[in-house]
Structure 1
Amino acid sequence: MLYINLNRKSTTSLTQQIYEQIRGDILNRELKEGERLDSSRGLSSTIGVSRNVVLEAYDRLIAEGYVEVRPRSGTFVAKGSSLPLHENNVHRDQRMFRTDSEPKLIDFRGGNPAIDQFPRKKWGQLTKEVCGEAPDRIFGYGEPGGIEELRITLAKYLQRVRGVHCDPEQIMITQGATQALRLITELLIKDGISIAVEDPVTDEMRNIFINAGADLFPVPVDENGILPEHLPKGKKLGFVFVIPSHQFPMGGILSIQRRVQLIEYARKMNNYIVEDDYDSEFTYEGAPVPSIQGLDPERVIYVGTFSKILSPALRVGYAVLPAHLVEAFRNLKWFHDRHTASIDQLVLSRFIEEGYLDRHVRKMKKIYRKKREILEKCVLSSFKEAKTIGKAAGMHLVVDIPGATFTDDIVNKIKEKGVHIYPVEQYALKKGMHKQQIIMGYGGLTKEEIIEGVEELKRCLDMNKYRQ
C-alpha cells in the first residue's frame, strides 16, 4: 500500500508530489521491484484527489521506466529501477519491522475498537451472498451519494437509534467520516471564513480542517461539552464543529440547554452546526441522547461512521445534509473518488437490515462496559487522588492525576517501558490547562493489558517523581 503525504498549500502540484514520492520510494527500495502499486482509483480515494491527478503521475512514471503496466494485472515497479542500498538505508529498512522478540506496546489510544470482535463469519457470509445475488448495476459505476439500498436502510436506522430526521436522498455515503468532514469543509469554507471547534479536539479533525485551508476558532469545553457562550459574536463562521454525544477527548455529553443554544446561535449567525457522532452507540449510563440534527435538520449536518462500531478497515461513513446542500456535496464527492465501493455498501445494508448490527452493538456494549470498569478500578486503586472523566459512553476515559505533568519527556519514558498514553494537552489549541490529564482508551485492549498498562504507568510516574 502506498503512503502519500500531500501538502495542499505547496506551490508544487499534487501530480508532481505524488510522482516524486513514488519515484523516491522506488529509488530507495521502499517499493521493491515487481511490487504492485495501488490502482489509480484506489489511491485517489485514499489521499483525496481526483483520479486524473493520480493517472498523470502514473503516466509519467511509466514513461520514465519506473513502473510498467501488465495487462489485466495492474501496475508494477519495473525491474532495474531502484538504486543499490547504502548502509544507512539498510539499517532504516531493518528498523521498519518489529521482530517477535521485541516487546508489544500496550496502546491506550482512544477510539481503537476491539478488532478481534469483528463479526468475520457473518460479514463473509453476507459478502458471498451479495456477490452471488446482487444485480449487475452493483458491479458498475455507482451514484456518488451511495447506493439506494444503504441510504434507505440508514435513514430508518438513524431515525430509530439516533433520532435523525431525513429522507434517504439527504444521506451521502463517503469513505469514512474523514472524507465526509473534508468535503463539508470544502463545501462551506471560503477565504476568510473560520470554523469554531471544541478545545481540546481530536487532532485528526483539526488536521482535516487546517489542511482544507480553514482557520480555527477554539471554543472551550468543560466536563459537559462545549460552552456556547464562548462562540464569537461578530466573526463569520462557516460552521461550528461539535461532538455532542461523547466529546473527544473530554467525554462530555452535551445537555439539551446547550444544544438549544447552539441551534439559536446557528440561526442567528446564518451558519451550520456539524455534528460528529462517532461512537454514541456505546452509552453505559442512561439512554443515549438523541442527535442535535433531530432538533433542526436545516441547520445541522450530521456525520457518522462505522469505523468505531465495526472496524476501521470498513471505509464507510456518511453525512446527512440539509436538502439544499445535497447536490453541491454530491458533485464534490464525484470529483474526489466517483463513489464508495458499492459491494461493501450493499453488504452493510444487509448487515443492518437483518438485525446483525443491533446484535453486535449490544454485544460490544457489554464487552466495553466490563473493560471500562476494569480500567477505572485499576486507575483509582493505583492513584488514590485521581479522578476519571467522561466514562458514561465511548471507548476511553480521561484520567486526571493531580501533581502529574505529562511532558513529552515523561510520555516517551513511559513508552520505552511498553505503554503508550496520550496527554490531553496535545489535543488542546490553547495550551496549559490539561497538563495533568491523559486519555486512556480501552476498546482494543485485553483485561490483562489494561491491568499491566496501569501498573507500569504507576511505576514510571513514581520512579521519575513526576507526581507529588
Structure 2
Amino acid sequence: MLWIPIDRSLDISLKRQVYGQIRTRILQGALNAGDRLPPSRELAKQLNVSRNVVVEAYEQLFVEGYVEGKQGSGTYVAQGAYLEQNRKKRPISLLEIEQKNEADDDIIDFRSGIPALNRFPKKEWGKLVKEVCEEATDATFGYDNPEGRYELRHVLSRYLKRTRGVHCHPDQLVITSGATQALSLIANLLLTPDEKVIIEDPITHDIQTIFSSTGATLDPIPVDQHGMRTDLLPMQQKPGFVFVTPSHQFPLGGILPIQRRIQLIQFARTWDTYLVEDDYDSEFRYGGEPVSSLQGLDPERVIYIGTFSKILSPVLRMGYLILPPALTQRCRQLKWYLDLHTPSLEQKALARFIYNGSLDRHIRKMRKLYLRRKEFLSSCLKEAFADQVSISGDSTGLHMIAEFNMMFDEALVRRIYQHGVNIYPVEHHAIQKGRHGNKMILGYGNLTEKQIQEGVYRLKQALT
C-alpha cells in the first residue's frame, strides 16, 4: 500500500499533492527503481479522489522521467531518479512553517528601515494600478526603456527639486529596482578591482558587501555626531568614489554640516572623482524641513540615490539614481544588462501617486505617526533605564541609537533574543571594530506603541 496524505484545505491541487509526494519518495529512495506503483483506479479509491487525479499525477511523473510504463503490467519507478543527498534532508511541512511564523510573530523586532507596513495606502494604490492597467496601450505591456518611464522621471525630478533641492533633468534619472540595485549599478560603473572606496564607518553592512564584491578596497573614515570626519579624508590616492549619507548618517544619525559638505566637494574636484549620496529616509525629519541634498551643491560631482522602500513599502522595489550627464548612457546600458527595465505599470502608478499629491500627503501623515512612535520609544527607554541609557541620532528617519554602559556581544544579543526581542548592535556595521560595542540600533517604524512598550520591558528583563 502507498500511503499519501491528502489535505483538501491546502491551496495546492490534489494532482500536485499526489505527484509531489510520489516524486519526493522517489528522490529520497523511499520508492526504489523497479518498484511498481499501485494501479490508478486502486490508488484513487484509497485516497478518495477521482481516478483522473491519479492518472494526471502519473502522467506528470512519466513526462519528467520519474516513472516508466511497461506494456500490460503497470507503472514502475524509473532507474536513476534517486538523489542520495536528499535522504539526509527532512522536508519541512506546512505545519512547521506555520509554527515558525507564529514563533516569529512573538518576537518584537526593532529592525531599522521598515516603514509601518499596515499604513501602506492599499486602496488608493490599488485604484491607481487598476486605472493605469486599463488605460495602458498595448506597447506598455512590451519591453520598456532601461532608464524608466519618462512620466515618472519627469514628475520625480520636479518633486526632488521642490523637496530636496536636487537639480537634474529627467534624462539624468535612472529608475531602479530599489536602492540595492542602484548601489550595485554604481559599484559596477565606477569600481575596478583593487580600487579604493572612501566610505563612512560605521555604515550599512550590506553596502560594504556590495562595494567589496567588485574587488575594491574599503577605506573607512570615522563618523562622529555630525557625520563623516572630512578632516580625515586621505590625500594619497584617487578613490573610485566617496560614499556618504549626509542627510541622516546610517546608523549613528548625524547630519553633515555645510562646512564638511564643501570639504567633500572640494575633495571630489581635486581628485576628479564622484561623491555618492545615499538619501534613504530623510523625508521623515522631525525638527523642521528635510535637509537639502548634497547633490544640489554640485550636480556634476554628486550621484544621488533615493528609494521608495522607506517612504511607502519595500514591496514596490522602486528606487532611483540621479547621475551627472557623463555617466547616464553607461548606466542605462548596465541597467539593461541587469534586468532590462523596472516594471512599467508600477512606474506609471507611482508617477500618478506623486503627481496628484498623494505622496506628499502620505509623508505628512506618516511623519506624525513616526514622531509619536519615536517619542514613545524614547520615553519607554528612559523610564526603564533612567540614566543608564543615552539616546541619539533620532532627529530623522525610522530609528534611534541607544547607548548603554555595557557591550552588546553575540552572547548578550542572543540572550536578548531569547527574551523575545531582536536588537541590532551598531558594531555589526562597523568596519574598524571596537568603538561602538555599547550602542544598539532601535527601529520603530513598523512597531505599535504596545509592541514598543512590551519590547522595552523584555529588553530590561534581559539586561537585568
Q: TM-score range by the shorter chain?
A: 0.7 to 0.9
- Cα deviation for residue 235 of structure 1 reads 2.0
Verify the 8 A CA contact 2:28 2:87 in the aligned structure 1: no
**What whole-Å deviation, never above 9, does each CA across 1:178-228 have from its counterpart, x for those lacking one?**
101101110101232111111000112111111232211111001111111
Distance 1:269 1:101 in 2: 54
Distance 1:318 1:335 in 2: 17
**Change over 3 Å in CA distance of 1:94–1:212 after alignment to 2:** farther
- Cα deviation for residue 294 of structure 1 reads 0.3
Q: Does 1:398 align with 2:398?
A: no
User: 390, 401, 407: which is aligned to 1:387?
Assistant: 390
Distance 1:383 1:82 in 2: 59
**Change over 3 Å in CA distance of 1:92–1:355 after alignment to 2:** same
**Change over 3 Å in CA distance of 1:296–1:66 after alignment to 2:** farther
Distance 1:92 1:400 in 2: 42
User: 314, 317, 321: which is aligned to 2:316?
Assistant: 314
Distance 1:435 1:145 in 2: 42
Alignment of 1:25-424 (within 5 A): 83=83, 86=87, 88-90=89-91, 96-99=97-100, 102=103, 104-385=106-387, 386-402=389-405, 404-424=406-426
**What whole-Å deviation, never above 9, does each CA across 1:284-305 have from its counterpart, x for those lacking one?**
0122110000000000000001
In the comparison of the two structures, how many residue pairs are matched?
391
Verify the 8 A CA contact 1:65 1:81 in the aligned structure 2: no
User: 441, 451, 454: which is aligned to 1:452?
Assistant: 454
Where do 5+ consecutive residues of structure 2 fail to align?
A: 1-23, 30-62, 67-79
**Change over 3 Å in CA distance of 1:27–1:359 after alignment to 2:** farther
- Cα deviation for residue 133 of structure 1 reads 0.9
**Change over 3 Å in CA distance of 1:408–1:177 after alignment to 2:** same
**Change over 3 Å in CA distance of 1:351–1:81 after alignment to 2:** farther
Which residue identity does 1:277 align to in structure 2?
Answer: D
Verify the 8 A CA contact 1:182 1:212 in the aligned structure 2: no
Distance 2:129 2:301 in 1: 37
**What's the Cα RMSD here?**
2.3
Larger Rg: 2
Q: Which TM-score applies when normalising by structure 2?
A: 0.80
**What whole-Å deviation, never above 9, does each CA across 1:99-129 have from its counterpart, x for those lacking one?**
5763611000111111000000000000000
**Change over 3 Å in CA distance of 1:325–1:88 after alignment to 2:** closer
**What whole-Å deviation, never above 9, does each CA across 1:370-402 have from its counterpart, x for those lacking one?**
000000001111112211111100000000112
- Cα deviation for residue 349 of structure 1 reads 0.2
Deviates more, 1:144-153 or 1:95-104: 95-104
Who is 1:36 aligned against? Answer: none
**Change over 3 Å in CA distance of 1:298–1:126 after alignment to 2:** same
Which residue identity does 2:327 align to in structure 1?
Answer: L
Instruction: Report the secondary structure of 1:266's partner residue.
Output: helix
Who is 2:39 aligned against? Answer: none
**Change over 3 Å in CA distance of 1:93–1:416 after alignment to 2:** farther
Which residue identity does 2:409 align to in structure 1?
Answer: T
- Cα deviation for residue 270 of structure 1 reads 1.1
**Change over 3 Å in CA distance of 1:352–1:91 after alignment to 2:** closer
Which residue identity does 1:89 align to in structure 2?
Answer: R
Instruction: Report the secondary structure of 2:275's partner residue.
Output: strand
Where do 5+ consecutive residues of structure 1 fail to align?
A: 1-23, 30-63, 68-79, 463-468
Which residue identity does 1:211 align to in structure 2?
Answer: S
**Change over 3 Å in CA distance of 1:325–1:27 after alignment to 2:** farther
Distance 2:82 2:165 in 1: 56
